[in-house]
Structure 1
Amino acid sequence: ILTKDKKKNPLPSSSREELSRKATISMGYFYFQWFWLLMSVVSSIVLVFVLKIVVFLWWRPRRIEQHFSKQGIKGPPYHLFIGNLKELVGLTLKASSHPLMPYSHNILPRVLSFYHHWKKIYGTSFLVWFGPTARLTISDPALIREIFILKSDCFEKNESPPLVRKLEGDGLLTLKGEKWAHHRKIMTPTFYVENLKLINERRKVLSASCEVESAEEKPYDLLEHMIRANLKGPNHQTITVHDMVEECKTIFFAGKDTTSNLMTWATILLAMHPQWQELAREEVLRVCGARDIPSKDDLPKLKLLGMILNESLRLYPPAVATIRRTKTDVQLGGLDIPRGIELLVPTVAVHHDSRLWGHDATSFNPARFAQGVAHAAKHPMAFMPFGLGARRCIGQNLAVLQAKLATAMMLQRFSFDLAPSYRHAPAVLMLLYPQYGAPIIFRKL
C-alpha cells in the first residue's frame, strides 16, 4: 500500500515547484544564449556593411586622391558621398542660364563647363568626383591613342545609367567582352560601304516607279541577317530574340538621333555661313544637277560637302565626351592608374584645342579638311566624332552617307537662313542639341 502511494505522489509539491523553476531557468538561459548569438551575427553583418560603406565612401577616395597627388595629378577636393556633384551642378546651371553670342562656336564653356573651369586651375588632366566615382580627364591625343587603340584591352566601356539603357537598348552601345564582339561580328557586314550604296540605288528606284525591282545583288538586310543567325543553331553565329530586340532599339536610337543631330548642326552652320552654303550648292549643282537625286557615283565627288560635314562634326560632335574604365592596373603615359578608375575623354575639348587645330580652332572653316581627315589637325587622333578603335560607331559610314545625301538634295532645292527667333544655345541631353530648337527659314529655288 505504501509503495502504491509513493507512485501516486512521487514528489512533494515544493520539489515539483523547484524542478519547474530550474527548468524555466534552463530554458531562459538557452534562449538567452541563442539571442546573444543571433545579435552577434547581426552585429557582425551590420559592422561589415558599415565598414564597406566607410571604405567605399571615405577610405578608397582618400587613397585614390593620395595616389594621383603623388604623381602630380590634382583636382577639386572630394566631399563625402557627393564628391564634386554640388560644384558640377552649379557650374552647369550657371553656364546654361544664358545663350552664347550669335555665331560663336566656342561651346566648351557651355557644354562641358566643369572641364573648362577646372582645366584653368589644375591643367588638362585632373581628377573629378561624380559621387564616390573618380574620373581622370585625358585630352592628350597620344594618351587617347593608347586608351582606344594600343592598350584597348586594358579598358572597358563604363556602365550606362538604367534609364539610358532602357532608351538606347542593351545592344552594341552597352555590351562588353565576348558578347559585344559576337554581335559586332554579326552586324558589321550590313554596314560595309558597298551595301550602304545600295540604299541610294533602291531609293532612286522607289522615287521613279514606286516599285522595288529585283536586283542581281541582294541588299544586306540587318534584321533579316540577325533572324537567320538566330535560326542557324548552336554551332553557328546565333543571336537570341531578346538580343535582336535590344539591338533594334540601339540601332533606332543611335541611327536616328545621331544622323538627325549631324544634319541639324550642319544646316545651322550653313545658315550661319551663307558663303559656304553657296559654295556647297555650286558643287552639288555641278555634280548632280538641279533636281537629280545624287547617285552612289556622285556622292564621293561632293568633296566640299564632305568637308562641311566633317567641320560640323568637329565643332558640334554628337557626344561631347567618352568614358572608359580600367579593367586592370595600367600605365598610361607614365601615370600609374589603378583598376576601376574611369577615364573621361572630353571630345569637344580635343576638337576645339588650338594646339591641335590652330588659332581658328573655334571658327567654322571646312577648308581645314581639304587634305582629308588625317591631315586636318596636328595629330591623327584629334578628330573622333564617332569614337576610335574597335568600338568606333558601327554606323559611321551610314550616318555620313545619309547626311550627305539629304543635305545635297536640300541644297538643290532650297536656300535657307536662321530665323530671327533662333537662339544659339548648344546643350547636352545624352547628345549635343540646340536647347531652343533650330528655327530655319527655307526659300524654294
Structure 2
Amino acid sequence: MEKFFLAMKMVSSLVVVGILSWIFYVYVNEWYKSERMRRKLIKQGISGPPPCFLRGNLPDMKRIQAQVSSTINAQSNNNSHNLLEHHDYTATIFPYFEHWRKQYGRVYTYSTGRRQHLYVIQPELVREINYCTTLDLGKPSHKANQLAPLFGNGILSANGLSWAHQRKLLAPEFFMNKVKGMVDLMIESTQPLLTKWEQCIEAEGDGNGIAEIKVDEDLGGYSADVISRVCFGHSYSKGKEIFSKIRTLKEAINNNGYLFGRTSFGVTKKIVITNLEKEIESLIWELVEERKVSNSSKKDLMHLLLEAVKNDENLGEKFCKQFIVDNCKNIYMAGQETTAISASWSLLLLAFYPEWQTRIRAEVAQYCPNGTVHADSLPLLKTVTMVIQEVLRLYSPGVLVTREAFEDIQIGNLHIPKGVNLWTLIPTMHRDTENWGPDANEFKPERFKDGVSKACKFPQSYAPFGLGARLCVGKNFAMMELKIVLALIISKFNIIPSPSYKHSPAFRMVVEPEHGVHLLIQKI
C-alpha cells in the first residue's frame, strides 16, 4: 500500500511538472513570436527600449510609473490654479510613453511580455492607420476579451464583418438630421439639473447667492437621463441601477491593470464581475421586454435594435438577445460617461477662464432670445463650439487609439507584422507644439475660430472622437448635448473656482477628475 501511494505521488508530481512545463513552453513560444515581430520592426529602422526575457518592458513601465507617482505625492499640495496653467498630464499618467517618446521619437516599439506594440504619433502614419479600410486591422483581441463583460461584442469592441454590420445599422441613427430631432428631449433633461442648482443656492447660499456643488455627479445624472430618454424611451430613474452597476463593473475591470497587459482575473474578482455582468444584462433585458409590449410608436434606438433583429432571419434567438444587450451596454457606457466628464472639464476650465463665460452669455443672449435654446439656434453658438473643441483637445476623455494587425499589412511605408498592436496617445498629439504652436499647452479656444482644419498644421492629429472608419458614431449626439448643457448653465449661473478643488486627472479607461469637480455656483 505504501508503494502504491508513493507511486501515485510520483505520478501526480510528474503531471504537475508536465503541466508547468507545457505552460512555460507555450509562454516562451509566444514570447519568441513577439521577439520575431520586434526584429521585423527594427529592420525597418524602428527602435525602442530593449525588453527583458519573458516580461518585455513591463518592469520598466512599472518602475517609471512608481518614480513619477512618488514625485506627484511629494508635490500634492501644489496650488490647483498653478497646475492648470499647464494642462499636460501625459507625463504623470503615461510617463513611460513620454519617457520613450523623448528617447526614441514619434514611432517606437515596446513589449509587454508576449505582445509586441508599436507606438505611433507621427501625423502621416496616424492618418494612414485610422483611414485604413481593411478589416485586417481592428480593436486588439486581448483588450476586447478583457473588456468583454463591459462591452460584449457591441460596436465598440467588435471587429471584421460583425463590426461593419453594426456600424451600418447604428451610424445613421446619429446623423445630424436625426440628432436635431433629439434636441427638445436633451433640453428637457437639463431642466432638473438647473432647478437642483437653484435650490442648492437657496438652501446653502452664503448670502451672495453662491453654493459649492460637486458638478461632475450632477452632470453624470444629466447625461444618463439624456441617454435614457433619447435612446431607450424611459427616464433616468428606470436606468439608474444599470448605470450604477456599469460603473461598479468598470472599476472592477480597470483595477486589474488595463494598460499593463494582464487579462486574467482572480477567482473572487471573476465571480464579482460575472455576477455584475448577469445583473446588468438582466436589467437591460427587462427594459427591452417592457418596450416590446408597449404601444409606443417612438422611433428611438431601442426600436431600431428590435427591428434590426426582427427583420434578419439569419440571426438566432440567442444572438439577437446578446446583440441588443451588448449595444445597449456600449451606449450606456460610452454615451453617458464620456459626455458627463467632458461637461465637467468644460465647466472647470470656464471657471478658471471667466472671460469665456462672458462671451458665451453674450452669444446665447444674441441667438437664443429669453434663453430659449432650440435646434436652429445651436449651430450659431460658435463660441460654445470653440470652447468644447478646446476642452476636448486638452482633456479628451478617450486617450488611446488602439489597433491590432490580424494579418500582415502595409501602413504608409511600414510593414506591420501580424499580431502587432498599434497605440496612439491622443493627449500627446493634442499637445504637439510643432502642430499646434508654442501655446499648445494653454487653454485658447480662439484657435478653433475657423474650424479644426485651420487650428493646426495636421488636422488628422485632432482625434477626441477618433478618426476615419472607427470615428465615434455618437460624435454629433455628444457635441449637441454638450452645447445645450453648457449654453443653459452659463446663461443662468456664474461658475467660480472652489478652494476645495484638487487638480488631479486620472486614467480609469477614460481621463477623469480623480477627486471630482467642486465649483462655486452663483445664480445670475
- TM > 0.5: yes
What letter matches 2:450 in structure 1?
Answer: Q
Instruction: Give the superposition deviation at 1:288.
Output: 1.3
Q: Tell me if 1:147 matches 2:95.
A: no
Could you tell me which residue of structure 2 aligns to residue 31 of structure 1? none
Q: Tell me if 1:321 matches 2:304.
A: no
- 1:129-188 CA distance string (max 9 Å, x none): 223211111111111111111454441111326453322343110111111111222222
From 72, 81, 92, give the equivalent of 1:110: 92
Any residues of structure 2 matched to 1:18-417 within 5 Å, and which? 50-57=24-31, 59-96=32-69, 97-98=72-73, 101-103=82-84, 104-150=86-132, 152-159=134-141, 160=143, 162=145, 164-202=147-185, 220-234=299-313, 240-292=320-372, 294-417=373-496
Q: 1:263 to 1:51 in 2, by over 3 A?
A: same
Separation in structure 1 between the aligned mates of residue 103 and residue 23 of structure 2, nearest angstrom: 37
Structure 1 window deviating more from structure 2 (74-83 vs 246-255): it is 74-83
Give the TM-score, by structure 2 length: 0.70
Q: Look up the SS of the partner of 1:400 in the other structure.
A: helix
Instruction: Give the superposition deviation at 1:199.
Output: 1.5
Q: Look up the SS of the partner of 1:240 in the other structure.
A: helix
Separation in structure 2 between the aligned mates of residue 373 and residue 141 of structure 1, nearest angstrom: 15
Percent of pairs with identical residues: 32
Separation in structure 1 between the aligned mates of residue 135 and residue 184 of structure 2, nearest angstrom: 39
Q: Look up the SS of the partner of 2:131 in the other structure.
A: helix
Greater RCO, CA 8 A, separation 6+: 2
Q: Is the 8 A contact 1:229 1:237 kept in 2?
A: no
Q: Look up the SS of the partner of 1:410 in the other structure.
A: helix
What letter matches 2:435 in structure 1?
Answer: L
Q: Is the 8 A contact 2:435 2:456 kept in 1?
A: yes
Instruction: Give the superposition deviation at 1:320.
Output: 1.3
What letter matches 1:76 in structure 2?
Answer: P
Q: Look up the SS of the partner of 2:107 in the other structure.
A: coil
From 429, 436, 445, give the equivalent of 2:515: 436
Separation in structure 1 between the aligned mates of residue 111 and residue 189 of structure 2, nearest angstrom: 53
Q: Is the 8 A contact 1:61 1:78 kept in 2?
A: no
Q: Look up the SS of the partner of 1:115 in the other structure.
A: helix
Q: 1:288 to 1:219 in 2, by over 3 A?
A: farther
Instruction: Give the superposition deviation at 1:91.
Output: 2.5
Instruction: Give the superposition deviation at 1:360.
Output: 0.7
Q: 1:124 to 1:315 in 2, by over 3 A?
A: same
Separation in structure 2 between the aligned mates of residue 342 and residue 171 of structure 1, nearest angstrom: 21
Larger Rg: 1
Q: What number of residue pairs does the alignment pair up?
A: 397
Could you tell me which residue of structure 2 aligns to residue 419 of structure 1? 498
- 1:194-235 CA distance string (max 9 Å, x none): 211111234668999xxx9xxxxx864110111122222416
Separation in structure 2 between the aligned mates of residue 237 and residue 194 of structure 1, nearest angstrom: 33
- 1:67-118 CA distance string (max 9 Å, x none): 2333222212212232222222232344343457422212221222111111
Q: Is the 8 A contact 1:111 1:428 kept in 2?
A: yes
Q: 1:410 to 1:80 in 2, by over 3 A?
A: same
Q: Look up the SS of the partner of 2:147 in the other structure.
A: helix
Separation in structure 2 between the aligned mates of residue 259 and residue 411 of structure 1, nearest angstrom: 17
Q: 1:224 to 1:161 in 2, by over 3 A?
A: closer
Q: 1:154 to 1:142 in 2, by over 3 A?
A: farther
Instruction: Give the superposition deviation at 1:47.
Output: 7.1
Give the TM-score, by structure 1 length: 0.82
Q: 1:51 to 1:93 in 2, by over 3 A?
A: closer
Instruction: Give the superposition deviation at 1:42.
Output: 12
What letter matches 1:78 in structure 2?
Answer: P
Instruction: Give the superposition deviation at 1:355.
Output: 0.8
Structure 1 window deviating more from structure 2 (234-243 vs 404-413): it is 234-243
Q: Look up the SS of the partner of 2:110 in the other structure.
A: strand
Please, what is the CA RMSD of the aligned residues?
2.8
Instruction: Give the superposition deviation at 1:326.
Output: 1.1
Structure 2 residue runs of 5 or longer lacking an equivalent are 1-13, 192-229, 231-296
Q: Look up the SS of the partner of 1:323 in the other structure.
A: strand
Q: 1:291 to 1:82 in 2, by over 3 A?
A: same
Separation in structure 2 between the aligned mates of residue 237 and residue 306 of structure 1, nearest angstrom: 44
Instruction: Give the superposition deviation at 1:391.
Output: 1.3
Q: 1:185 to 1:235 in 2, by over 3 A?
A: same
- 1:258-285 CA distance string (max 9 Å, x none): 1101101111111111111211221112
Q: Is the 8 A contact 2:436 2:457 kept in 1?
A: yes
Separation in structure 2 between the aligned mates of residue 80 and residue 72 of structure 1, nearest angstrom: 22
Q: Look up the SS of the partner of 2:181 in the other structure.
A: helix
What letter matches 2:172 in structure 1?
Answer: P
Structure 1 window deviating more from structure 2 (322-331 vs 348-357): it is 322-331
Q: Look up the SS of the partner of 1:362 in the other structure.
A: coil
Could you tell me which residue of structure 1 aligns to residue 262 of structure 2? none
Separation in structure 2 between the aligned mates of residue 181 and residue 109 of structure 1, nearest angstrom: 36
Separation in structure 2 between the aligned mates of residue 44 and residue 419 of structure 1, nearest angstrom: 62
